[in-house]
Amino acid sequence: MGKPTGFMDYERKVSREAAPKDRIKNFDEFHEHLTMEEQQLQGARCMECGVPYCQYGMMINGMASGCPLHNLVPEWNDLVYTGNWQQAYNRLKKTNSFPEFTSRVCPALCEAACTCGLNGEPVSTKENEYAIIERAYEEGYAAAKPPKTRTGKKVAVIGSGPSGLAVADQLNKRGHLVTVFERADRAGGLLMYGIPNMKLDKAIVERKINVMKEEGVIFQTGVDVGKDIKVDKLKKEFDRIVLACGAANPRDIKADGRDAKGIYFAVDFLKANTKSLLDSNLQDGNYVNCKGKNVVIIGGGDTGNDCVGTAIRHGCKSVTQLEMMPKAPDSRAENNPWPEWPKVCKTDYGQQEAIAVFGHDPRIYESTVKEFIKDKNGNLKGVKIVKLNWVKDEATGRMKMEELAGSEQVLDAEIVLIAAGFLGSQKYVTDAFKVEVNERTNVKTTPGEYRTSVDNIFVAGDMHRGQSLVVWAIREGREAARAVDESLMGYTNLMVQ
């Protein structure tokens, strides 16, 4: 611990954001990061606690507290402070396959569990992580490091999202020959097409994938396994197969008028926007343009917020975000103590931009769609929403939603984006591989394991655990890689944590 009094000597400082009305003019990342000297002082704020909750990643009341990857946070915070950047990178990479992604899109579970945050501001660990990985690329020590020997074993990974990439990265480092199959035209899965460019610049995704290619990972894009290539062929060519296709079934909204023209799933909306942006800077018109339209987004989570930010960049006339749950408190409730994940109201970048442009928060809480209203040509022209009341079901003791009589309201809407989460894996994939699924349609395994019901086929990520965070997908990928390696070699030396 290089600076015992650092947490008292220095105040928390994070990157500066471009003003909302400036950043909505493009789809670029909008953070201005600290200088190296400023970042080192932030590293000095780490208390290097006797019990570092930041790196523990334990489940408390059903939610993770601390980093699921068990990142060695106090170690590399101190190395940042002392300016030992390469060693900080080495320690960071021990547990995290892709800090270039998590330092941009992770909600920083480590910071929520930081001891400094108990009586003040937590250490800016996510910013330190960003500084470490970006400096590693600048200095060259994040460059490709191909394995020195090969095992002769071949592994197919189906899906190139964060879990699939983590599987491929780990198994390739072990010396196995890994081929990643991706049905989209670009590798990256959720990282490429599910997260908007202003949150995660696609050049960053491509940069890492190019490093993996130099290290020997083979990527085959535009290949939909189960349709374009037969599973039996893969079984003959590869020693092991890992399914990492994500939770790709969007949850629908069943209401009168659902067949109206102008209703889209958020995942399709965001994918088309990013693809058009990369292909033509939005000049090809192959996306849903919200310019001049009243937009209603169903879903209050991160994906809904991404839709808000995207619609505003298009120049929408208005944007409203519907949230079924009540508004969370602005500060921790007494029944939500540290180091639990803080269940507080978060105003994310998209909502900040809506407030700046339209003068109010776009969210309407405790509400849902009752009817989609069409014009005579079948085009969407409005949505009827209703307020919800949460009451206890006397029979089960659980809370349930009831419509509040007389609370109906009609909103103008030419575009509706459904961002209500995902239901599980896609049936044509699980049917093609003949793997068992559970009641949530996630691929079934023994708890804590990654083997499916079919010999030599493994699973990882959202397809296994259900919709979750990028950081959990990376952990699943690393653990699945370890299981695959052990099944191939009889032992494994791959690190998970």
- Looking at the structure, tell me whether residues 60 and 128 fall in a common domain: yes
Residue range(s) defining the domain that contains residue 277: 263-418
Mean pLDDT for the chain overall:
96
Look up the CATH number of the domain holding residue 481: 3.50.50.60
User: Which pLDDT does position 48 carry in this prediction?
Assistant: 85
- Looking at the structure, tell me whether residues 410 and 455 fall in a common domain: no
- Looking at the structure, tell me whether residues 161 and 191 fall in a common domain: yes
Listed residues 418, 438, 457: the one ending a domain: 418
Predicted confidence (pLDDT) per residue in 336-346, tens digit? 999 999 999 99
Listed residues 398, 418, 438: the one ending a domain: 418
pTM value?
0.96
Phi/psi of residue 118, each to 5°? Answer: -65, -40
- Looking at the structure, tell me whether residues 286 and 389 fall in a common domain: yes
Residue 256 lies in a domain: no
Residue 145 lies in a domain: no
- Looking at the structure, tell me whether residues 182 and 209 fall in a common domain: yes
- Looking at the structure, tell me whether residues 58 and 96 fall in a common domain: yes
- Looking at the structure, tell me whether residues 173 and 299 fall in a common domain: no
Predicted confidence (pLDDT) per residue in 462-482, tens digit? 999 999 999 999 999 999 999
Predicted confidence (pLDDT) per residue in 400-432, tens digit? 889 999 999 999 999 999 999 998 899 999 999
Residue 221 lies in a domain: yes
- Looking at the structure, tell me whether residues 294 and 227 fall in a common domain: no
What would the mean pLDDT of 76-95 be, rounded to a whole number? 97
- Looking at the structure, tell me whether residues 404 and 428 fall in a common domain: no
What would the mean pLDDT of 352-360 be, rounded to a whole number? 98
> To the nearest whole percent, how much of the chain has pLDDT over 90?
92
Residues contacting residue 50 through CB under 8 Å, at least 6 positions apart: none
- Looking at the structure, tell me whether residues 15 and 122 fall in a common domain: yes
Tell me which DSSP letter residue 175 carries. T
Residue 146 lies in a domain: no
Residue 480 lies in a domain: yes
Residue 88 lies in a domain: yes
Query: Is 90 exceeded by the pLDDT of residue 106?
Result: yes
Listed residues 395, 418, 441: the one ending a domain: 418
User: Which pLDDT does position 107 carry in this prediction?
Assistant: 96
Residue 253 lies in a domain: no
Look up the CATH number of the domain holding residue 124: 1.10.1060.10
1: confidence class by pLDDT, cuts 50, 70, 90: low
What would the mean pLDDT of 241-252 be, rounded to a whole number? 95
What would the mean pLDDT of 242-270 be, rounded to a whole number? 96
- Looking at the structure, tell me whether residues 320 and 409 fall in a common domain: yes
What would the mean pLDDT of 152-178 be, rounded to a whole number? 98
Residue 255 lies in a domain: no
Cα(353)–Cα(342) distance, integer angstroms: 23
Distances in Å between the alpha carbon of 356 and those of 22, 105, 144, 362? 10, 23, 43, 11
User: Which pLDDT does position 62 carry in this prediction?
Assistant: 87
- The domain tally of the chain equals 3
- Looking at the structure, tell me whether residues 267 and 412 fall in a common domain: yes
Query: Is 90 exceeded by the pLDDT of residue 484?
Result: yes
Among 47-61, 127-141, 153-167, 445-459, which stretch is predicted with the lowest mean pLDDT? 47-61
Q: Report DSSP letters for 78-138, one per residue.
A: HHHHTT-HHHHHHHHHHH-S-HHHHHHH---HHHHT-THHHHSPPP-HHHHHHHHHHHHHH
